[in-house]
Amino acid sequence: MVIAIFALGALAGASGLLLGFAAIRFKVEGNPMVEKIDAVLPQTQCGQCGYAGCKPYAEAIAAGEAEINLCPPGGPNGVAALADLLGRDPPPLNADDGLEKPKLVAVIDEQSCIGCTLCIQACPVDAILGAAKHMHTVIARECTGCELCLAPCPVDCIHMTPVAETITTWKWAYPGAAVRAAA
Amino acid sequence: MSRLFPFHGGLKTVRHKTESNALPIEPGPLPRRLVVPLRQHMGNVAKPSVQPGDRVLKGQMIGQADGYISAAVHAPSSGVVAAVEPRPVPHPSGLADLCVIIETDGEDRWIEREPVDYRRLHPSDLRNALRNAGVVGLGGAVFPSAVKLNPGGHCERVDTLILNGAECEPWITCDDRIMRERAAEIVAGLAVMAHLLEPLKVLIGIEDDKPEAIAAMTAACAGTGYTVRAVPTRYPSGSVKQLIFLLTGREIPEQGLPLDIGVQCFNVATAHAVHRAIAHGEPVLSRIVTVTGHVQRPRNIDVLLGTRFADLIAQCGGYRDGVERLIMGGPMMGFALHNDDVPVTKATNCILAASAEQLTPEQPVMPCIRCGACVDVCPANLLPQQLYWFARAREFDKARDHALFGCIECGCCSYVCPSHIPLVQYYRYAKNEIWAREQEKEKAELARQRHQARQERLEREKQEREAKLRQKAPPRAAAETGTETTGGAG
């Protein structure tokens, strides 16, 4: 009887020490789910979801404060990927935040640009190049198409143009009934 | 003679070789205008090195190789550059790509050619010479040859060099004709390749339905130690992986390269181009194109790159009545063109004008009955049916796990499918989607990093500003502290 109590007590004590050590030694900083969710989001940093960027939205989802269907650039595929990650059923995209659009890129009309730098400050990914009282231009390759530069422009010289399909970005379509095999 | 290792699956297809292989190669026209695409190879598009208005000579470089996997592009004839702009190119999309348009002057005047002795050149200089001569795989894959001739890192040594003269696809006969007529030059080019790779043995694989080509190549190889091997006529024996297995019994790992197993493989026309580039200083300006199918006089033509398809059709006497579709490449792996106003590129091995009878009649697609015929013919040892389900359901991860990227898109599965399911279309679609998603992911990652860098910079600037403010205004800061102290004391 005494031996049993002693043995179990010792076992419990040792396990407690081990667990306590592990909790300190292997402590995870922050919520690891945030990184995973952030990796699925399209990183446009557009704020259409109502949060200040993709990371804050990922944090809100991880904390259970936000729905997973608020990201229009991610589209239905993005919602499905989030649902898959979180083990939920994919809800339809919330239309209030906007709809999925074709890929866009911002273009500055260089004739009208007055060099006010407001768009440079608004760009979340530093994709606009220029200096005060000098013409600005968009680095098209870095532009995420977030449209955040449109509103601050005092002369409305920025417009969004669809990214043209090229030989390298062209994709074979999902086969329809009309497709024949040539042989 | 050592034995052959037959690959799994494959097909006995209709051949249709005799339509075009009887006549000798004919020189092509010298068009008034040449439209030369700057992307005629795998890898980065060549950088244009001429401007509208420039005079160019035949063989002058008009596009520089950009990056390691790239090749140069040259003026196929002398004349004046009229424009450097996007023009429709032969591609399944029908989209335009950057081209140099040359108004030819009819003189066909050469730039000074500089032949080199390959035995005296350093291997890397030799590879550079091939790169600057625009030599790429002329079998249709157009991968820069200089890259393939650099085995560094992939394997300890290349023990087998294979020259691919199988030409398994129906209708196409350009390799057949070049082997018959220019065997000596092919073997001379092969010697340059062997000089660079130093293989233990050199094999030339030719399908046994080309006895004349086999005889010509065997004669040209006399005294060289290279072996010509006749392989059974079975589609797709001309596919790199299948030909290597057939000749050596070795399998390339999934998504691996021939170099990973110590083998390298080139097309016969590529060897010919290597010889012209090294021994004559001539860059790749033309290629042999089979023009066949429903045209008046099918034949092989030695065509200047940039010549319109329509001009070649005209040289063959025009279309016969009832042409249903124009295909670049063969009926199995080629693609339909939107029209014939596109230029010949280094990838154009065949122009096939197909009539309704030559195409499989259009039949309604029916549900898969799980008969397994596709599995029996798949030369890549895949499970086409399983891949079809995954691609159809857009379950790309599963498709990838089932070795989707091992698919060589040979079309055997679609050919035998009793339900007429366009299987290869599904695989192409799935591959494209996977690539596109990967690219999107990379782009998103870049945007994330830039956003993060910006956030950090803004934070740093804010702190610096505050620090400066504190330094600039010490009295007020001191006063505030003083008030606090007073308050605390009170």
A102-167 CATH: 3.30.70.20
Distance CA A170, CA B3 (A): 44
The token pair at A16 is: 């407690």
Distance CA B355, CA B238 (A): 25
In a domain, B139, yes or no: yes
pLDDT 10s digits, B259-310: 989 999 999 999 999 999 999 999 999 999 999 999 999 999 999 999 999 9
Task: Single out the residue in B239, B254, B286 at which a domain terminates.
Answer: B286
The boundaries of the domain holding residue B380 are: 368-470
pLDDT, residue B490, reads: 32
The token pair at B290 is: 């089979």
Architecture of domain A32-97: Orthogonal Bundle (1.10)
In a domain, B358, yes or no: no
**Whether A172 and B336 lie within 8 Å, measured CB to CB:** no
**Whether B411 and A124 lie within 8 Å, measured CB to CB:** no
Distance CA B92, CA B477 (A): 71
Of A55, A125, A175, the CB nearest to B425: A175
- Residue B490 vs residue B30, higher pLDDT: B30
Within an 8 Å CB–CB cutoff, is residue A171 touching chain B? yes
In a domain, B480, yes or no: no
DSSP code of A175? P
What are the start-end ranges of the E strands in B142-296?
160-165, 201-207, 227-231, 263-267, 286-293
In a domain, B269, yes or no: yes
In a domain, B391, yes or no: yes
Given pLDDT bands bounded at 50, 70 and 90, which one contains residue B476? low
In a domain, B90, yes or no: no
Shortest distance between the Cα of B206 and any Cα of chain A, in A, equals: 23
Shortest distance between the Cα of B350 and any Cα of chain A, in A, equals: 15
What is the ipTM metric for this complex?
A: 0.81
In a domain, B279, yes or no: yes
Residue of chain B nearest A169, judged by CA positions: B436
Residue of chain B nearest A177, judged by CA positions: B365
Chain B CB contacts of A164 below 8 Å: none
In a domain, B257, yes or no: yes
Same domain, B121 and B234: yes
Hey, CA dihedral for B164, B165, B167, B172, is it positive or negative? positive
Residue B144 has, within 13 A of its CA and on its CB side, a CA count of: 26
Count of the separate structural domains present in chain B: 2
Alpha helices (H) in B133-253, listed in sequence order? 145-148, 174-181, 183-197, 211-220, 240-248
pLDDT, residue A183, reads: 35
Query: How does the average pLDDT of chain B come out, rounded?
Result: 92
Same domain, B135 and B227: yes
Whether the link from the prior residue into B236 is cis, omega within 30° of 0, is: yes
Same domain, B382 and B258: no
Of B336, B359, B426, the CB nearest to A175: B426
Domain ranges of chain A: 32-97, 102-167
Amino acid at B334: G
Task: Single out the residue in B263, B286, B309 at which a domain terminates.
Answer: B286
Burial label, B347 (beta-carbon count in 10 A; 0-12, 13-18, 19+)? buried
**pTM score, whole prediction:** 0.86
Taking residues A83-102, report their average pLDDT. Answer: 81
**Whether A173 and B424 lie within 8 Å, measured CB to CB:** no
Within an 8 Å CB–CB cutoff, is residue A172 touching chain B? yes
CATH of the domain at B273: 3.40.50.11540
Nearest to residue B29, comparing CAs of B316, B351, B280, B318? Answer: B316
Same domain, B255 and B377: no
Hey, CA dihedral for A12, A14, A20, A25, is it positive or negative? negative
**Whether A54 and B451 lie within 8 Å, measured CB to CB:** yes
Given pLDDT bands bounded at 50, 70 and 90, which one contains residue B473? confident
pLDDT 10s digits, B354-364: 988 877 777 88
